[in-house]
Structure 1
Amino acid sequence: MGFFGKLFGNDDEPPARKLNHPSQLNVGDMITLDDSFALPPQLRGQQLRVEMVNTYEFEREHTPEWVLKGKLGDTLFMGLDDDDEVWLSFSIKLPRADVEALFDMDAFAEIFAEPGEAELTPLPLTKDSEIFAQWLGEQYYQTGFARFGYFHKKDYRNGKPSQYVENNPGEPFESYELLDSQESHAIEIEVYEGGDTDVMLTLYRPLSDIREYWPGD
């Protein structure tokens, strides 16, 4: 590039990506979250990198899931919940030992029993489970029962998941959901073929909790 090209820029270069909404995030992008004490330690003030973008497919919709990692090493999952206005949903996945530490398992089993009207109260926190304090609601009420869907390890924001078996339809699962009375906390459960089960604690937060966006390219 000559002197004037360096001085005035190269018109052939594409403009830098600008990020101002979580829906625009791609793999390699980063976000910085608010340092408010309203956020749990796994989120508060953290800088998180998008490691992967997955897709949840249901009968009439498909939605992205951003897999995030930060300096603390935790894997976090972020989605967008559109209920009159758009909210961030942050989730953490619980191993079985933590599920057993946080909930009475007999009461937890009622989530999978028809007609799907379980109520669930977390157990008193211990020294080991205190790290989940801000991820938990006081009382949960079941709002979703055995909703069928597919999970895709692929970003379909610019397309539609395949409906055909030969074209990788994704992993089938049944979804169960409970919300607290404030609709600020949720328990989300996915049961896959063979009985593999993912249990996630979800926290709903305003979009303004993302303070900065950093394009990865």
Structure 2
Amino acid sequence: MSFLKKIFNKDKPVQRKLTHVDQLLVGDIIVLTDSFALPETLRNQQLQVTAVNSYEYENNIQTEWTLQGNDDLLLFLSLDVDDATELKFALKILPEDVETLFNLDEFSEIFDEPGEAFLTKKADNNLTTNWSSEQYQQSTFAKVGYFHRKDHRSENISEYEGKDSGEQFEFYALYNEDQSKGVDVEVWQDGDTDVFLTIYRPLTDIIDMYPAS
């Protein structure tokens, strides 16, 4: 009987186990802590991975997971690897959100050389509450990157500046004093500009992960 069991169990698919964020694939779900250190849009949420993309820079490639919860709000997750690895959550905001948050003359200095803009928050709206910080200092100016709608962990992407190299953009970044929050700006070749509020959190803020069924 045990021999027959072994034969029939051979074709049974092995359930994926998720032990690290970097293993996430489309359809997987993460569960976040209920800590009040998180914005309400993240706190105690179950978020599903809807896409995996890649950001290619001269010296590294970053994985980005698109996340979606019950409220249809799109969020983005990546890993910030420095002395310690942190979760980097990003929230895309609209021009009217930028206008509420910042003085637009100050904000435009982000694109002026040598890239030393200093932003002071004016006010939040319902979306940006707990995502924003009081002040930001620019640290990155016009860094060239390429965006690929591919998962570089399993799909080949072209070499930096190679053929079919993805969508080119310029990257600008600002951080608050303790670098727990930031502002990312991506300027695309057609002039479109995307602005994100970012928040950096420990890996332990993800309290569970479920593989796609």
Give your verdict on TM over 0.5. Answer: yes
| Displacement of 1:6 | 6.1
| Displacement of 1:22 | 0.8
| Displacement of 1:151 | 0.5
Instruction: Give the equivalent residue in structure 2 for 1:183.
Output: 179
> RMSD between aligned alpha carbons?
2.1
Instruction: Give the equivalent residue in structure 2 for 1:133.
Output: 129
1:189-208 aligned within 5 A = 189-208=185-204
Instruction: Give the equivalent residue in structure 2 for 1:34.
Output: 33
2:100·2:123 contact (CA, 8 Å) conserved in 1? no
| Displacement of 1:9 | 6.3
Q: Deviations over 1:105-139 (max 9, x none)?
A: 000000000010111011133xxx04312111121
- TM-score if structure 2 supplies the norm length? 0.93
Instruction: Give the equivalent residue in structure 2 for 1:59.
Output: 58
| Displacement of 1:53 | 0.2
Instruction: Give the equivalent residue in structure 2 for 1:114.
Output: 113
Unaligned runs of 5+ residues in structure 1 are: none
Give aligned pairs, total.
213
Q: Which residue type is aligned with residue 212 of structure 1?
A: D
Secondary structure of 1:117's aligned partner: coil
In 2, the alpha carbon distance for the partners of 1:150 and 1:79 equals 16
Q: Which residue type is aligned with residue 59 of structure 1?
A: E
The reply to whether residue 146 of structure 1 matches residue 142 of structure 2 is yes
| Displacement of 1:48 | 0.5
Instruction: Give the equivalent residue in structure 2 for 1:155.
Output: 151
Name the one with the larger helix percent: 1
In 1, the alpha carbon distance for the partners of 2:156 and 2:119 equals 36
In 2, the alpha carbon distance for the partners of 1:157 and 1:98 equals 34
1:57·1:161 contact (CA, 8 Å) conserved in 2? no
Higher mean C-alpha displacement, 61-70 vs 150-159: 150-159
- TM-score if structure 1 supplies the norm length? 0.92
| Displacement of 1:15 | 2.1
Are residues 199 and 215 of structure 1, via their aligned partners in 2, closer, same or farther at CA, if it must alter by over 3 Å? same
| Displacement of 1:29 | 0.5
Unaligned runs of 5+ residues in structure 2 are: none
Q: Which residue type is aligned with residue 198 of structure 1?
A: D
Instruction: Give the equivalent residue in structure 1 for 2:47.
Output: 48
2:58·2:160 contact (CA, 8 Å) conserved in 1? no
Q: Give aligned-pair identity as a percent.
A: 48
Are residues 22 and 80 of structure 1, via their aligned partners in 2, closer, same or farther at CA, if it must alter by over 3 Å? same
| Displacement of 1:163 | 2.8
Q: Deviations over 1:170-208 (max 9, x none)?
A: 000000000000110010000001210000000000000
Instruction: Give the equivalent residue in structure 2 for 1:74.
Output: 73
Q: After TM superposition, where is structure 1 displaced by more than 4 Å over at least 4 residues in a row?
A: 2-9, 164-167
| Displacement of 1:85 | 0.9
